[in-house]
Amino acid sequence: MSPRLRLQLARALVVTGFILYLPANLLPVMTITITGVVEPLTVMGGVQELYHTGLVPVAGIVFLASGVLPVVKLLIMAWMLALHGSDQSRPLRMALHAFLLKIGTWAMIDIFLLSILTAVGQLGILASVRAEPGALFYSALLVCSILAVDIYKPYMIWQDSPKKAQ
């Protein structure tokens, strides 16, 4: 795949990720039913639920991992793509790219846990967990961010812009 195509794909994935961020956080990700009480939860609704039940450290971790980290990854990639071809901050961009690659493997942990909850949390009339459309948008957002980082290769950070090369 040519570097130009990689750049275009990475940019398209980042833009798509930003578009998906809104429905991923506004639509319910799961519905929990406990003894007949049905409660749809968004990502932030889950954080609030954890906080109100006294699990403040867990709520903080979920807030950072599920709410903050996806948008930070997209912002970092957008910044790196905006600086493509420039000499500015190349060592920092390399370090940030390596960071994004390392945390990218953990990006889908939320969806993995939701799938486990959905499979294991079926206790008949006592309790159940059901995945909702927000989970699809959230998964797509995470896939876009993972692919954008993977498609934009580190060597591309050191390439000069076509305008400079002429």
Taking the domains of the chain in order of start, what are their residue ranges? 3-158
Helix axis angle, 69-82 relative to 3-26, nearest 10°? 150
Two structure tokens written together for 140: 């797509």
Give 154's contacts (C-beta < 8 A, 6+ positions apart). 94, 97, 98
pTM of this prediction? 0.85
Q: Which residues does residue 40 pair with via DSSP β-bridges, in sequence order?
A: 31
pLDDT by residue for the chain (166 residues), tens only, comes to 898 999 999 999 999 999 999 999 999 998 888 777 888 989 888 888 888 888 898 888 888 888 888 999 999 999 999 999 888 899 999 999 999 999 887 777 778 877 787 777 677 767 788 889 999 999 999 999 999 999 999 999 888 765 554 4
Helix, strand, coil percentages in the chain from 3-state DSSP, rounded to 5: 70, 10, 20
pLDDT of residue 164: 53
pLDDT of residue 36: 78
pLDDT of residue 77: 96
pLDDT of residue 18: 96
Find, among 54, 57, 27, 61, the residue nearest to 43 by Cα: 27
Give 47's contacts (C-beta < 8 A, 6+ positions apart). 59, 62, 63, 66, 67
pLDDT of residue 85: 85
pLDDT of residue 105: 72
pLDDT of residue 114: 77
Q: State how far the Cα of 69 lies from the Cα of 91, in Å rounded to an integer.
A: 22
pLDDT of residue 104: 80
pLDDT of residue 37: 83
What is the DSSP track for 62-83? HIIIIIIHHHHHHHHHHHHHHT
The answer to whether 121 and 30 have CB atoms below 8 angstroms apart is no
